[in-house]
Amino acid sequence: MEQRIILNLPADEATLHELKVGQMIYINGTIYTARDQAHMRMIKELNEGVALPISLLNAAIYYCGPSPKQPGKIVGAIGPTTSSRMDKLTLPLLEKGMKIMIGKGKRSQEIIEGIKKYKAVYLSAIGGAGALYANCIKSFETAGYEDLMAEAIYKLEVENFPAVVAVDTEGNSIF
């Protein structure tokens, strides 16, 4: 078997630059969930000058709304959601230093340009593999916007979390 490509977070610019479109990689470290409603609220707070519940500097954001956790488990099913819904909500976060986005499906040309400009990467997780991803989560806690339920921001410690490099730092896209 080919040797696995591991991405330890937080990663520096050079490490992200080594990731090439089409590679299957395995992530270790801290990532935060945020989807439609959390993005909208973060942008509203940025515009109002309110401090966000998380720091976006070098952050990895996972477009995901997990299912509820059962007693005795760390987390419920936790696969990716469709990224294109976040296209109109992404540039302000890139400007604040977000470096990694994880979701599924294609991104707009505007976001691909943004990824190049800010030397970020977009990773596609395996959609519909929510149970498999549950086993990659080592800790799970609410980091903000708890009232949004499944759409809240959760802080995750992940191990061997598989994803495919979908848009690399040079703007090459798999889609």
Instruction: Out of 84, 92, 119, 138, point to the residue binding another protein (CB under 8 A).
Output: 84
Q: How far is the CB of 13 from another protein (least distance, A)?
A: 26
- Stretch touching another protein by CB under 8 A, among 8-16, 46-54, 75-83, 90-98: 75-83
Q: Rounded distance, CA 49 to CA 127, Å?
A: 35
The 8-class DSSP code of residue 174 comes to -
Question: Which residue in the set 28, 30, 37, 108 belongs to the binding site for another protein (CB under 8 A)?
Answer: 37
Q: Which of 43, 61, 78, 153 binds another protein (CB under 8 A)?
A: 78
Kindly state the DSSP code that residue 9 receives in the 8-state scheme: S
Q: How far is Cα 8 from Cα 70, in angstroms, rounded to an integer?
A: 28
Near another protein in 92-151, by CB under 8 A? 104-106, 124, 126-132, 134-135, 149-150
Q: How far apart are CA 52 and CA 41, in angstroms?
A: 9
Establish whether 39 is a catalytic residue.
Answer: yes
5 binds another protein (CB under 8 A): no
Q: How far is the CB of 125 from another protein (least distance, A)?
A: 9
Task: Find the shortest distance in angstroms from Cβ 141 to another protein.
Answer: 17
Q: How far apart are CA 48 and CA 92, in angstroms?
A: 13
List, as one string, the DSSP characters of 94-124.
Answer: HHTT--EEEEBS---HHHHHHHHHTT-EEEE
Q: Which of 35, 39, 41, 99 is catalytic?
A: 39
Q: Which of 4, 73, 88, 117 binds another protein (CB under 8 A)?
A: 73
Coil vs helix vs strand at 53: coil
**Token digits of residue 154:** 């959760």
Cβ 26 vs Cβ 5: under 8 Å? yes
List the beta bridge partners of residue 157: 30, 139
Binding residues (CB under 8 A) for another protein: these are 22, 24, 37, 64-70, 73, 76-79, 81-82, 84, 104-106, 124, 126-132, 134-135, 149-150, 162, 164, 174-175
What positions carry a catalytic annotation? 39
